[in-house]
Amino acid sequence: MLAFKGFTQKLISFQRRTVVPLMATPLTNSTVAAFSTGSPNGTAPIKRVGTHNGSFHCDEALGCFMIRLTDKFFGAEIVRTRDPKVLETLDAVLDVGGVYDPSRDRYDHHQKGFNEVFGHGFTTKLSSAGLVYKHYGTEIIAKELKLEQEHPDVHRLFLAVYRSFMEAIDAIDNGVNQYDTDLPPRYVNNTNLSSRVGKFNLDWMDPDQSSDKENEAFQRAMSLAGSEFLEVVRFYARSWLPARTIVMECLAARNTVDASGEIMTLNKFCPWKLHLFELEEEMKIDPPIKYVLYEDDRSKNWRVQAVAVSPDKFESRKPLPAQWRGLRDEELSKESGIPGCVFVHMSGFIGGNATYEGALAMARAGLKL
C-alpha cells in the first residue's frame, strides 16, 4: 500500500529533476519528469498522463499531482501538449482534449455542455482537479488513513477535503464568484493557492520562453499544489477526525452539563467550531448549543465561548450579557455576582473565569440575561 512517509524529501527531489524531452514528437509537446516514488508492482510500464502546454493553472497542476498518487498512474510521466494525435495515445488526459469520460480517464471541463459537479450537496462545476478528485480521491485518502475505501472515516475526509480545499480551486478555475453580489471586493486577495500557482508561469519579460523553462515552472507548480493538498489531507486525518470524535462525545453529554442542553463542555480542547455545526445537524440537536466551555492550556483558566450563528459569521447566537462586556477581574465579578471572573470581550463572544464552576455559572447566567 502506498504510504506518504518521506514525502517532503521526495518533493524536493522532484523539484530538482530536469525536463526530459519527448522523443520523436513536435517541439510543441514535452514531458515533465515529476517526482517518482516507484511503481506499486515494480514491473508495470510507466503510464503517460497528458495535459496542455503553454500557460498553466492550479487545476491541471494539482490534477496531475493527484492522479500520480493512485495505483493506476503511480509515478506516471506527464506529457504537456495540445496535439490531438499525441493526446489520443496517452493513458489519461487532464484539462485538454474536450472530453470528459472517466472510463477512458479523460478529464477535461472546457467543452460545451459540461456541467459535472461533485455531488453530495455541492453545486460548483468541477475543474480537471475536481474531476480527478471525484474519481480517485477516496483511494488517495484511504491510503493516507491506511483504511479500506469503504470505511466511514474515508468518506468523511473525502467530503471535508473537498469542502475546505478542492471546491475553491474548482470555483476559481471556472470563474465562480464567492459572493452573490455585483459590488466590487473591498480588497484584493492574491494569496490563494490558485494565484500562487499562476505566478509560476513564465514572466513575459523573461528572455527564455523555452519549453524546458516552461516545464520546469510546471514542475514547481505541481510541487506547490500537491504539497498543500497533502498537508490538508494529513491535517484532516491527524487532527480533524480525532477532534470530531471529541466534539461528538461532548455534544452527546450536554444535558449532564446543564439541564437546558444549551451548554457544552469540552473534556479536551480541540478545534470544535465546524464540527459543532455539522454534528448539530446530523444529531438533530434542538435547541442548539449557545456556549462552549473549555480550559485554556496556557493560563489554565476556563473559557466560556458563545457559539456563532454560522461557521462564517462573527455574530453569536447568544453573546454574553452586554453589562459584562469590557469588564475584567473584580469589577466583572462584582457586576455578574460570580466569583473568579477574568474578562468578557467587548463583543461578548468570549469570557473567562478562574474555575470551571465559575465559567459554567457565567454560561448559565448568560442564558437567562
Which tens digits make up the pLDDT trace of 340-359? Answer: 999 999 999 999 999 999 99
Q: How far apart are CA 21 and CA 8, in angstroms?
A: 26
> Is 25 among the domain residues?
no
Is there a single domain that holds both residue 326 and residue 217?
Answer: no
pLDDT at 21 over 50: no
Contact 81, 25 (CB under 8 A): yes
DSSP string across 320-343: SPGGGTT-BHHHHHHHHT-TTEEE
Tell me the CB-side half-sphere exposure of residue 139, using CA atoms within 13 A: 16
- Cell numbers 466569583 correspond to 339
Q: Model confidence over 141-157: pLDDT tens digits?
A: 999 999 999 999 999 99
DSSP 3-state of 137: helix
Give residue 26's pLDDT band: very low, low, confident or very high (50, 70, 90). very low
Q: Is residue 140 part of a domain?
A: yes
CB atoms within 10 A of CB 257: 18
User: Does the pLDDT of residue 14 top 50, yes or no?
Assistant: no
184 within some domain? no
Residue 71 phi, psi (nearest 5): -60, -40
14-19: long-range pairs with CB below 8 Å, 24+: 14/219, 14/222, 14/223, 15/219, 15/220, 15/223, 17/219, 18/216, 19/211, 19/212, 19/215, 19/216, 19/219
Q: What is the pLDDT of residues 320-335, one digit of tens each?
A: 999 999 999 999 999 9
Measured in Å, how far apart are the chain's first and last C-alpha atoms? 57
Pairwise CA distance, residues 93 & 103, whole Å: 12
Question: Do 196 and 229 have their domain in common?
Answer: yes
Residues 120 and 264 in one domain: no
Confidence class of residue 28 from pLDDT cuts 50, 70 and 90?
A: very low
Q: Is residue 20 part of a domain?
A: no
Look at residue 29 in the predicted model and tell me its pLDDT: 54
Determine the pLDDT at residue 34.
Answer: 41
Q: Cell 462573527 maps to which residue? A: 314
Three-state SS for 241? Answer: helix
Residue with the larger pLDDT of the pair 267 and 8: 267
State if pTM tops 0.85: no
Do 121 and 235 belong together in one domain? Answer: yes
- What's the mean per-residue pLDDT of the chain? 89
Q: Hey, what's the cell of 110?
A: 472546457
Domain co-membership, 300 together with 344:
yes
E strands in the chain = 30-32, 48-51, 77-80, 92-94, 100-101, 106-107, 117-119, 122-125, 263-265, 291-295, 302-306, 341-344, 350-353
- The total of structural domains in the chain comes to 2
Using DSSP, state whether 290 is helix, strand or coil: coil
3-state secondary structure of 299: coil
Q: Is the pLDDT of residue 22 over 70?
A: no
121 and 152 housed in the same domain: yes
In a domain, 167, yes or no: yes
Q: Is residue 62 part of a domain?
A: yes
**How would DSSP label each residue in 242-265?**
HHHHHHHHHHHTHHHH-TTS-EEE
> Do 220 and 94 belong together in one domain?
yes
89 within domain boundaries: yes
CA distance 283 to 295: 25
Residues 289 and 349 occupy one common structural domain: yes
Cβ contacts of 299 within 8 Å, gap of 6 or more? 352
Instruction: Write out pLDDT tens, residues 197-247.
Output: 999 999 999 999 999 999 999 999 999 999 999 999 999 999 999 999 999
Q: Are residues 108 and 217 in the same domain?
A: yes
Does a structural domain hold residue 38?
no
C-alpha to C-alpha distance for 25 and 80, rounded to whole angstroms: 11
Same domain, 217 and 330: no
Same domain, 204 and 322: no
Q: Does residue 231 sit in the same domain as residue 278?
A: no
Answer yes or no: is pLDDT of 4 > 60. no
Question: 288: domain range?
Answer: 260-368
Higher per-residue confidence, 213 vs 190: 213
